[in-house]
Amino acid sequence: MYEPTNESQPTTTNTTTTTNTTTNTSQTTPALAGVCLVCGGECAVGDTMCARCDGLMRGWLREYPAWLDSLHEFLDSTAHYGGRQPGRVNLPAAPTPIRLPVLDHMQAIEDAAIALWRRLYAPPAMPWATYGVHPPLVDMLRVCAGSPRLRRMPDIADFYHEWESMVRKTLDIIDVPPSKHGIGRCPNPLCGVELSAPIDAVEVTCPVCGGTYRVVDVRLGFLKECIASGKAFTAGECAELLCECGFQCGVNTIYSWRSRGRIQPAGKNGKGQPLYRLADVHRQLSRRDSI
């Protein structure tokens, strides 16, 4: 969804050809443009960063408050496993490996924001700034994103690359769709709200009724609902859901049923992949299992 600087390539190709034609006329031609210290492209005189790199970096700083919310939600979603309480033993199945790196990552974001804010707004001659006093994180991000001095910093490349790799890491955590995906409805008949859980979670706590349920049971409920309603999915999604519910069903099995005419796609998704009704796949599966 968010693509950081995959396409921040320098755009110098046509400028070099034009300057080549004028090099022999004089060597006194003043530099009409500066060089972006990040991408090597052309930028305004006196600036150290081109408009494109500048726009990307400010964009990250502006997006971060929302990304931090997502990170926080991701962190909290497993908080009921109690991994941080001393003396508490974690079950081997608890998804704690995910959470502590997220915590570290959030700390790294705050550290980077402090470093950038200090670089822009707090010269070492201001003692209070060097003694750990700084505005709240969200304010620092906002102020830095709007700072006209950002594109004049002589060491901007160091900061840019630090933020660039941090953004990648953040988006790896929050932007992978299955990191926290919808798994089905709350099994409580009086509740029935849509539940989501991190991938590989074993249990899920309903935020509405407060009940804790096994993810397998929620998935099984979702499977039954999809079978009843005739919902269709890609072969991979069908196989995944069925496997989660304890059926043995691989993608290749579904493909072979199709080639033998035992099932027919019920349509296509936006990417042109064929969609199969879960009910059809499940029917074939039951037939095979019964043999």
Given the rule CB under 5 A, which residues bind Zn ion?
A: 36, 38-39, 41, 50, 53, 186, 188, 191, 206, 208-209
3-state SS class at 248: coil
Does residue 75 contact residue 103 with C-beta atoms inside 8 Å? yes
Does residue 201 contact residue 95 with C-beta atoms inside 8 Å? yes
Tell me which amino acid residue 10 is.
P
- Cβ closer to Zn ion: 191 or 227? 191
Tell me which amino acid residue 72 is.
H
Query: Rounded to the nearest whole angstrom, what is the least distance from the CB of residue 192 to Zn ion in the complex?
Result: 7
Query: Rounded to the nearest whole angstrom, what is the least distance from the CB of residue 155 to Zn ion in the complex?
Result: 15
CA 274/CA 234 separation, integer angstroms: 6
- Cβ closer to Zn ion: 79 or 208? 208
- Cβ closer to Zn ion: 188 or 196? 188
Q: Any idea of the CA torsion for 83, 105, 122, 8, to the nearest 10 degrees?
A: -170
HEC profile for 210-226?
A: CCEEEHHHHHHHHHHHH
CA 34/CA 45 separation, integer angstroms: 5
- Cβ closer to Zn ion: 129 or 191? 191
Q: Who contacts 166 (Cβ-Cβ below 8 Å, separation ≥6)?
A: 105, 108, 109, 112
Exposure string (b/e) for 79-109, b if CB count within 10 Å is 16 or more?
eebebeeeeeeeeeebbeebbeebeebbeeb
Query: Rounded to the nearest whole angstrom, what is the least distance from the CB of residue 203 to Zn ion in the complex?
Result: 13
Query: Rounded to the nearest whole angstrom, what is the least distance from the CB of residue 248 to Zn ion in the complex?
Result: 30
Query: Rounded to the nearest whole angstrom, what is the least distance from the CB of residue 209 to Zn ion in the complex?
Result: 3
- Cβ closer to Zn ion: 145 or 285? 145
- Cβ closer to Zn ion: 53 or 223? 53
Query: Rounded to the nearest whole angstrom, what is the least distance from the CB of residue 115 to Zn ion in the complex?
Result: 21
